[in-house]
Structure formats: structure tokens, C-alpha cells
Chain A
Amino acid sequence: MIRPAGRRPRRVPVWPALVLAVTVAVGVVVALGLRSGPTPPGSDAGTTGPPVPAPALSGPTLDGGRFDLADAHGHVLLVNVFASWCGPCRDELPLLVDAGRRWSPQGLRLVGLNVRDGSEAVRALLDETGAAGLTVLPDPDGTRAVDWGVRGVPETFVVDRDGRIVDRQRGVITRQWLEQRVAPLLAG
């Protein structure tokens, strides 16, 4: 580089170069971060985290009996969080009841956690869906569901024979889900 005599040597623009470099670096980092995909924990529909002990769940049932999660020890328990104001719940109840009927010899138990609902409305729902025999635990203010970390209805928890939550399904369950997630527990 030949500089004309008498002129001061041109200063290398350090700061703009640095700013540019930092900006590019930040852009690359952010782009890589976005590429790896946002994976907030627990945002997927079915979560298979490590088994955690199920929170306590006991109280009077809709038909005047009593339910205690501790009594279901040794059984595989499906806890279905539902409400009569939830359309998809209506659709999945027959499937649940059918599974309960088929797999009860192998040790499957069902309990419905009825969130923020009226007893009349839920009885009507159970009658309409042929689920009148379902053990239903009313949760009028929804705090039991919150204790279980419920994010919406319907949501179904699988509690294994040792009283641990081993699986959960946010949203409607399917026959396939039952076959894949519940049936193996009953076989073992």
C-alpha cells in the first residue's frame, strides 16, 4: 500500500470492525440457538420424564363412596382429568371405560378427576357416554388438578403399581396410546 506523502496514515477503523464482528458473532449464536429448536420442557403432548411419586389424591366420590390413591397401590391407575364442559373429554370417555373393562382383570383401575364442574352436569355426561360406573372424584375449584400439574383438560396420567406417575397424555387419548403406554405396564 502506497500512501501519498504528506497525508497522515489512514487509521484502521477499529470500532466499526469490532461492532461488525460482534454483531455477526451474536447473529451466528442466535441462529444456531434457533436451529436447535425451542424445546421448553413439558411442551410436548406426551411427556415421558423420570417417574415421580404421584401427589396425594383422596376424597369423597360422586356416588358417595370414597377414593384414595393409596388404596390403588399394586394396581395400574389411569387418572383422567375431565369436565362436562370439555368436548374432547366426551369423546374419549367411552374409550377409557372400554379399556377399564377389558384390562381390569390385569389390574387396571380408572379414576376421573372432574374439574370445575357441577354434579348434575357430570352425571348427565357419564350417562350419555356409558361411563356411569366410573369412579369420579369431584374437584370443584380445580386445585387438585393444579396439584397434579394439569395444563388443560383432558389430561390423563398413568400411575404404575408403585404409585409413581410414569406417563401422561395432554389432550385426547387414543387406542394406540393405550396399547403402547398402558398395556406394557399391565403385562409386567
Chain B
Amino acid sequence: MRWRPVAVTLVLVALLAAAGAGLTRSAAGAGQDDPVRSVAADLRCPACQGESVADSRSPIAAAMRQAVADQAAQGRSRDEIRRWFVQRYGPDVLADPPARGVELLLWAVPALTLLAAGYAARRTLRARPRRSGELPTAPPAAGPAPGGAARWAWRWSALGLIAVVVSVAVAARGLDRPRSDPTPADPVAVAVGLARDLEAQDRYDAAAQMYREALRDRPDDTIRLRLAFALLRAGDAAGAAQAATETLAHAPELPDGLLVLGLAQRRTRPTEAPRTLRRFLTVAPEHPAAPEIRRLLATRP
């Protein structure tokens, strides 16, 4: 019966190793390579629920990350930065505020429960009389050992517990670690979205401004064309013509480009407008705007 202590020792070692590995993994997730992120990860975002300053996308959290970065750049230590935030936001800004009072129970109860369970298990499992008289407190074995069922219950519970720990450990491997650099929203897409909203509100000047900002970041003909449309509607025919011309420089046969250019030219260079609009009709006779353009050309030859 020498195998039993060996097996118990092996299981204990395996459990301890798993616990150690788990601790290391979760500690590594804090990102020790980036001190700013590690400080921000331990601060609670005051505008959110259950999110750290490092993970939240709220503007205040972004500002707090900037404040952490600024202070880290000034050479302040982690504790100094944390104290700075506590002075301004109170101790609740810390993700793990110092435990006090009733909160200590949260730590004490599981520990006490484990200790009590361990003690009870030990009592049940150890109270096995080899010979009557050797252990006077235990009743003599008669028939099936009394407490045998309890012993089995303990063993199965322990096995179940180990199975839970192992399965959690295995499942945790499959979980993706949160990426340390969440890709920020594409500023160009945001600008274009805003511009469309502005167009829907008939604020074409502001929309054109947004399209210009988007174009600065990404010179894209689709955006330039939208800019031309917005400028045309805002009454800036010259700007619209210029934007449309730039688009046509890359794609000379683009129907929408020809359409905007032609419409803009009706105000800037009325002599060239019919030629451009006719080219538009040749390129895209089925365009939704084609009947309207035909009507325009017919009324003013």
C-alpha cells in the first residue's frame, strides 16, 4: 500500500503546479513590458462598469491613460501615479482597493471553508481502525466499515474537484488573451460616416469639411466624389468642379464624376457644361440621373 502516499503527493504537486502556472499566466496578462498599460490596468474606469482604464474606450479612460503616460514619462513611480489618482478619484479608482472590514470576509470565508473541509476529510479518511483497541475512540468495525460511504463521498468529491480544476485549466488555454493593442476605429470611416449624417441633415458645408479631413488621411476617389457632390450642394461650384476633375484624372469615364463636373460647369463654365453632360449620357445612358440631364440639355441647348 505504498502507492497511496505517492499518488497523493503526485496529485498535490500537479495541483500546485497548475495553480502556479495559472498565477503566472494571469500576472503576465497585465503587460509588464508596458508600464503605462500595467498601471492603467489596475485603475478602474470611473465612467464605466467593471472596466479598467486600460481596456475602456470611454473618452475619460483615454484621458486617464494619457495622464498615466504623461506621469510615467516624467519619471514618476507606479505608486506615485496611483496615489495621484486616489487623491482625485478616491480609493475606488484602484481596481484592487485595500481590503477592509466586511471585504476581508471575502478572502477569509473561502480560506476557512477550505481548511474546514480539509480537516473534515482528514478525520473521515484517517479514522480507520486497523485493530480494535488501537483506536479506542472509533467504534469497532462490524460488517461493512461504518463511515465507508462517507469516505467514498470524500474521495469522489476530491476527484470531482480535481476534474473541475483540470478542465478549467484546459479550457483556459483555449481562451484568447485580450489583445494588447485593440485596433482603433478607422478615423476615415468615422469621418465619412459623420459626413453622411451631416448630408442627411442638409448641412453640406460641414459635410464637405468632414470629407476633406477624411481625404487628408486617405486620398480615395470615392470620398473625393462625395466631397464634390457635397460642395455642389453647398453651392461651391468651383470646388466641386475641381474635386470632380481630380477624380476624373484617375478614372476619365466615371459617370458620377462626369455628372458632378457637368453640373458644376453649368455655373463656372457654362460653355463646357453641355459637352461634359453629353459625355456623361454616352457613358451611362441608364444612370438614374440621365433623364433629368437629358431634360436639362433639351431645355438649354
Contacts and interface: CB of A to CB of B under 8 A. Distances in A.
Interface residues of B, number: 27
A32 B102 CA distance: 10
A43 B92 CA distance: 10
Nearest to A18: B116
Contacts of A124: 206
B120 A142 contact: no
A19 B115 CA distance: 11
A94 B184 CA distance: 34
Contacts of B290: none
Interface string B149-177: 00000000000000000000000000000
A8 B140 CA distance: 12
B92 A41 contact: yes
Contacts of A42: 89-90, 92
B64 interface: yes
A19 B116 contact: yes
A12 to B, nearest CB: 14
Contacts of A105: none
B89 A149 contact: yes
Contacts of A141: 63, 66
B63 A115 contact: yes
B102 A33 contact: yes
Given A29-B105, A30-B102, A30-B105, A143 B92 contact: no
B6 interface: no
B80 interface: no
A177 interface: no
| Chain B contact surface mostly | helix
Contact of A116 (B47, B62, B89, B119): B62
Contacts of B46: 151-152
Contact of A143 (B70, B109, B119): B70
B62 to A, nearest CB: 7
B90 A146 contact: no
B67 interface: yes
B295 interface: no
Interface in B102-153: 102, 105, 109, 112, 116, 119-120, 139
A99 interface: no
Contacts of A147: 67, 88
Contacts of B116: 15, 19
Contacts of A33: 101-102
B64 A146 contact: yes
B38 interface: no
A142 B102 contact: no
Contacts of A8: 139
Given A19-B116, A146-B64, A151-B46, A29 B59 contact: no
B268 interface: no
Interface of B: 46-47, 58-60, 62-64, 66-67, 70, 88-92, 101-102, 105, 109, 112, 116, 119-120, 139, 206, 209
Q: Closest 10 CB pairs between A and B?
A: A142-B63, A149-B88, A151-B46, A152-B47, A33-B102, A146-B67, A141-B66, A143-B67, A41-B90, A116-B59
